[in-house]
Amino acid sequence: MPVKVVVGAQWGDEGKGKIVDLLSEQVDIVARCQGGANAGHSIEVGNKKYVLHLVPSGILHPHTKCYIGNGVVLDLEVLNAEIEFLASKGIPLHNRLFLSSQAHLVLPYHKLIDQYGENRTALTVIGTTRRGIGPAYSDKVNRQGLRVGDLRYPAQFTNKLTTRLNEIKLRYADAPEIQSLDAIQEAEKYLSQAQKILTMITDVSLELDRAIKQNQSILIEGAQGTLLDIDLGTYPFVTSSNAISGGACTGLGIGPTKIDQVIGIIKAYTTRVGLGPFPTELVGEFGAALRELGKEFGATTGRPRRCGWVDTLIARYAARINGIGEFALTKLDILDSIQEIEICTGYQYKGEILKEFPVDMNVLLQCTPVYESFKGWMAPISHITEFDALPSIAKDYIQRLEDLCEITFSIISVGPGRENTIFRNK
C-alpha cells in the first residue's frame, strides 16, 4: 500500500484539510509532519464544520490512526482544546491519536517573544500569527528547546524551563510581559496540561516504519504551502519549517524511498496571509469581492487573506521542488459568478517575459503578471460530480491549467462538502 504526501502548492490555505479528509477514508494512517497551531484546516461533513490546528484531518474517519510527528511544534493548550472539542462531537480518540516524543513544545514565552517581534518597527515585521511558532523553531535549532518527551520527567522539565526562561529574561529586559513569567508556575501549569496526553507519546518514526512493513497505507499532511517553506519559499516572508514534501521525511523520521506519491493542492485562484510579494494580487473592490465569495479569512486568526488570480509559474515551481505527480484543484465553484477569469502565464520583468518563477525576491518584487483571459461559465457547479458534466468553459479552464502546469488535475473540488468533489481517476 502506498505512502502519499499531500502538499500545498501556493502560500497555504489551498484546501488541504478537505482533500486529506477525502483521501483519509482509504488509508490506515494519517501523519502530520510539520508546522504548528499557526495553521488551520477546515473540513465540512454534512452540516458540521471542523477546524483543526494540530490534530491531523484524518481523525474524522473512525478507522484511521493519526500521528503528530517530530517536525511539528506542539502547543499543549491548543491540542487539549481540540481533543476536548472532538470528544464533544463524538469523535473517538482512544488509541487513535499519537504524538512524537521528539516534537518540540511551544511554551508561553515563545508567544510573548513572537508578539514582541511583531510589535517592533515595520522593517522587522513578517506578519506572523503571533502563536509562538517561529521562536519555538528557533529554540529547536539553537538546541535550547523542550520536547514532548521531557514532559515525562517533571523535575527535569522544570529545571530546563527555568534555565531557558532565565536566559530569555536577560535578553528581553524591556519586555514586562516576559519579565512577569514565573518559571515554577509555568512548569506546573504545563505539566498539568500534559496529563491528558502522556499516554499518547510514542516513537512515531518507529511506528510508521512498522506500519509500512505491514503494508498499511499512510497519508502524510503538512501545514502552510510551498511558498511559505523556510528554504524555498518567498523568504523572509515564510514560515519556520519545511512545508514542502521533503519535510515529510525530516518531520516524521521516514526515508525518501518510502514515499510513493506526492499530491499537490492548488486553489482555482491564489491567496496569501501576511506580508510579502504576491504578483497576481487583486487590490480594490474586485479583490475584496473575491475574498467575500471565497470566505477567505484565516481559520486560525480570522485575518483577511489577500486574493489574486491563479499563477501557473508558482504551480510549476511547486511541482518541481515537491515532485508532485498530480494536482487537486479546489474552490473552482468560487469562480461561478465571475464574468472574466485570468490565468497568469508569465511575468514581465525589465522588458523580458519570465516563464519560470524567480527565486530572487528582488526580481519577484518587480515582476508584473502576464495573463490569458477566459470567459466565465456563469453557472453553479457545486452539484456536479462528473468532469464531463461541467460547463464546457470550466473544462477548458481546467485543461488550460493542466497544459500550463504540466500536471494532471485528478481531483476537483466544487464545494466545501465531501460530496462536492469530482474524482477523475476512479
Catalytic residue IDs:
13, 41
Parallel, antiparallel, or unpaired: how do β-strands 306-308 and 65-68 relate?
A: unpaired
Helices (H), 265-371: 285-294, 312-322, 361-364
3 state SS of 373: strand
3 state SS of 58: helix
Distance CA 69, CA 36 (A): 11
Characterize 161-197 residue by residue with b for buried, 16 or more Cβ atoms within 10 angstroms of its Cβ, and e for exposed: beebbeebbeebeebeebeebebeebbeebbeebeeb
Q: Grid coordinates representing 4?
A: 502519499
Distance CA 183, CA 77 (A): 17
Distance CA 274, CA 272 (A): 7
Q: Grid coordinates representing 14?
A: 489551498
Q: Grid coordinates representing 166?
A: 532565565
Distance CA 312, CA 162 (A): 49
What is the amino acid identity at position 366? Q
Residue 3 class from Cβ within 10 Å (0-12 exposed, 13-18 middle, 19+ buried)? buried
Distance CA 381, CA 334 (A): 9
Q: Give yes or no for a cis peptide into 391 (omega within 30° of 0).
A: no
Per the CB < 8 A criterion, the answer to whether 75 and 131 are in contact is yes
